[in-house]
Every structure is written in structure tokens, then in C-alpha cells.
Amino acid sequence: MTISMYQASIPVFVRSLSNLINILGKAAAHAETRKIDPAVLLNSRLYPDMFALSRQVQIVSDTAKGGAARLAGVEPPKYEDSEKTFHELVERLRKTIAYVNTFKPEQIDGSESRTVTLKIRDETITLDGLTFLLNRVLPNLYFHISISYGILRHSGVEIGKRDFLGKS
């Protein structure tokens, strides 16, 4: 049995972002119940030189929409990165899910050998679609979701592995 590029990307993005939405919901409830200013959690980070939670979530969104778009050979939409509340971050993730769900299998399948060019800081990287998905997009997606999870867990939000993985 083979797995298609579509199966390895779009459903994975949707599931991961949906799980993060649930985690952010628990974080918002935690802040409300404990009378913690939500900004405290949103601006928390694991280490001073790392991005805060809100930026981690924005990067998750950018990774999913950019990954889907580039695999399909189109330009990804740009979002403002202006979210300041849990609600705004959740809405961004929902908007991202809606966007990635617009892609059809025929737009993504066969992208294994499509050339993907990325501008990262001062560097331009060119990869084939399979390498882009497996070595850049998925690891980046999971990294920033894991950091988001870690920030919230470290801050006392009662979440666990089941929240990260979601329902089967």
C-alpha cells in the first residue's frame, strides 16, 4: 500500500491544528478558572530566547498553510500575526484549517518531485516536494505544536499526551 502526498499532508495538518485548538481551549479555561491574565500564558516561553506561545501558534498556522500551498504550487496567503487572545489564535487556526481544506488530492498528489523554493532569512533553499514535506513541513509543524504544548503544560494547564495526539 502506498500513501499519497495528499494523505501525508492535508489530513495531518487538519488533525494537528484541531488538536492545538482543543489545547488552547483548555488553556483559556485554565486561565479563567485560576484568575490568571491570559496574556501571561500567551506571552510565556520555555526559555528567554525562544518565541512566546502566541508566536508558536502563528508559526504552526504558517507552516500548515505554507506547506499545503507550496505542495500545490501556489502562493500561500499572508496573515497579519496580530493575534493577542486565545480566541484570536483559535480563529486563526480555524481559518488555516478552512484554507488547507480547499486543496483537493489532485492538487497535492504528484508533488513529490515538484520544485519548492523557500526564502529563509538570507538563504534560498530548493527542495523537491517529498523532501519539503518530510524534512521541513512536518518536523516544523510538530516542533511548534510541541513547544506550544510544553509552554502550557509547564504553566500548569492540565493537558496530556492524549490532548496532543487527539482522538483516534
pLDDT per position as a tens digit, 105-140: 999 999 999 999 998 889 999 999 999 999 999 999
Give pLDDT, residue 60.
98
Query: Which cell is 53 given?
Result: 506561545
The H or E element that residue 128 is part of is: strand 123-128
Which candidate, 152, 32, 24, places its Cα nearest to that of 90?
Answer: 24
Give the C-alpha separation, 127 to 78, whole Å: 22
- Record the pTM: 0.96
CATH, domain range 5-76+115-165:
1.20.120.450
Give pLDDT, residue 163.
96
> φ, ψ for residue 118 (rounded to 5)?
-120, 140
Instruction: Tell me the residue type at 89.
Output: L
Give the C-alpha separation, 117 to 52, whole Å: 28
Give pLDDT, residue 116.
95
Q: Specify whether the CB–CB gap between 130 and 47 falls below 8 A.
A: no
Which candidate, 68, 75, 71, 73, places its Cα nearest to that of 129?
Answer: 71
User: In this structure, what DSSP letter does residue 113 have?
Assistant: G
Instruction: Tell me the residue type at 81.
Output: D
CA geometry: angle 85, 90, 94, nearest 5 deg = 150
Residues of the chain with pLDDT under 50: none
| Reduced DSSP (H G I as helix, E B as strand, rest coil) percent helix, strand, coil of the chain, to 5 | 65, 5, 30
